[in-house]
Amino acid sequence: MAPQEHGPLSERHAALVMYECLKVVSTCHALGIVHGDVKPANFLLRQRMRDPLRFVERGQISNWLKAIDFGCSQVLRGSQLHRRTGTPVYMAPEVFQREYGLEADMWSLGMMLYQCMTCRFPFWPSIEACRQKSLDEVARAVILDDIVLNFGPWLSMSPEVCAASVPCCTSAPDMQSAPIQQQFFKIAMKEASEQHAKPNHRFVTCRGWTS
């Protein structure tokens, strides 16, 4: 579901979606794997259904997203990775600078959350404006520009969603922490369901963009 086509997600629904994505990324990181291409298109429904969030809220399904496209993934054998890989608009500043670790996936999740909540990316006023940028222009914006959280939708968002967004959307790797314990996600998951099975994701490898 593309946010620009269906409008932004509510805080509750964004929390439910991001919680599932965080579980996938946490599983990768526990194995020492950087996914390397975290974005909405790389998470699919495990079952074909209409309005899956309705079933999630009722506690009728769990582990309802699966991750695909591990073509950009790398095993972190040392302290840093150096291959620039992923989808540029979701790539962390340190990926463009070719010196990054597990935290780079958290930046990508932050970009996903920003997109789900506002129907745009942080550095451009619309999806269309973003698509017109070259790789160098995207890199320059990601590395140098500030992420704005004080306009439009952000002005009415709860402190919990802002607190969950800020750690992901920072250019300092040591500040990028998995907000899976954030109150934002705790509240949504408690309200939706008390039952959480262990992650059991299908990994489908296909070709990704690398340099």
List residues with catalytic annotation.
37
- Spell out the long-range contacts of 140-143 with Cβ–Cβ below 8 A and sequence spacing 24 or more: 142/88, 142/91, 142/92, 142/93, 142/96, 143/93, 143/96, 143/97, 143/171
Distance CA 39, CA 200 (A): 19
Residue 18 CB partners (closer than 8 Å, separation 6+): 109, 112, 113, 116, 164, 185
Residue 205 tokens read as: 């490898």
Helix (H, G, I), strand (E, B) or coil at 44: strand
